[in-house]
């Protein structure tokens, strides 16, 4: 029996040499794959933690954050729309939104409500006080240049009284300030 030996070419021998380490391209590809996999997982974990904290009452769903959200919405609505009027007691206001819809913002049953054509939208819960005050131009009495908005609430978890105030400057856009 005759023994056959195969001789490898130089190219095959070069390719057969063992490599030590990993290339930069492999590191970059691996890092990209890890990032693509970890970012969504981190988002799911964060959302789950927030949900659990809200249910247990230890989350950031505090009276202050709820009032701040309502106050931010109201500030943007006043800046983008037209204030049609504030009642004499400073407890409600009529506002024409950018879309052209006319809404009333008022406090009723410890809720800050936006009322549009009879439909009520809750802007904030557990609101103990909602006050509006027209800011007039000192140089021209009677000309409104802004609104001061005060929202107060009691935090359900800590029982602390929370009060937020916003001053919304809005020159020459009021059609009337007192009904």
Q: Which two tokens stand for residue 19?
A: 């490599």
Share of the chain above pLDDT 70, in %: 79
**Helices and strands of the chain, counted as H and E runs:** 3, 8
When pLDDT is cut at 50, 70 and 90, the band that residue 46 belongs to is confident
Residue of higher predicted confidence among 2 and 111: 111
For the stretch 96-128, pLDDT in tens is 988 888 999 999 988 999 999 888 999 988 899
Share of the chain above pLDDT 90, in %: 21
- b/e for 128-141, b at 16 or more Cβ within 10 A? eebebebeeeeeee
CA distance 93 to 97: 12
- Model-level pTM? 0.59
CA distance 105 to 95: 8
- Cα 76–82–84 angle (5° rounding)? 125
- Residue 43, CB half-sphere, CA atoms under 13 Å: how many? 6
Summarize the confidence of residues 67-74 as an average pLDDT.
Answer: 88
Delimit the domains of the chain by residue range. Answer: 10-56, 63-169
For the stretch 141-174, pLDDT in tens is 878 888 899 999 887 777 788 888 888 887 555 4
């Amino acid at each position: 029996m005759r023994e056959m030996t195969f001789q490898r070419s130089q190219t095959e021998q070069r390719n057969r040499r063992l490599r030590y380490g990993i290339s930069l391209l492999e590191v970059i590809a691996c890092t990209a794959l890890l990032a693509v996999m970890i970012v969504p997982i981190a988002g799911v974990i964060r959302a789950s933690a927030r949900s659990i904290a809200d249910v247990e009452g230890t989350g950031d769903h505090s009276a202050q954050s709820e009032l701040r959200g309502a106050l931010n919405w109201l500030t943007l609505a006043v800046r983008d729309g037209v204030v049609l009027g504030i009642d004499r007691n400073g407890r409600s206001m009529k506002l024409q939104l950018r879309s052209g819809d006319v809404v009333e913002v008022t406090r009723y049953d410890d809720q800050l409500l936006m009322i549009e054509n009879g439909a009520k939208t809750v802007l904030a819960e557990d609101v103990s006080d909602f006050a509006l005050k027209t800011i007039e131009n000192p140089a021209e009495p009677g000309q409104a240049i802004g609104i001061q908005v005060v929202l107060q609430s009691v935090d359900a978890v800590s029982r602390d009284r929370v009060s937020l105030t916003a001053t919304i400057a809005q020159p020459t856009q009021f059609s009337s300030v007192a009904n």
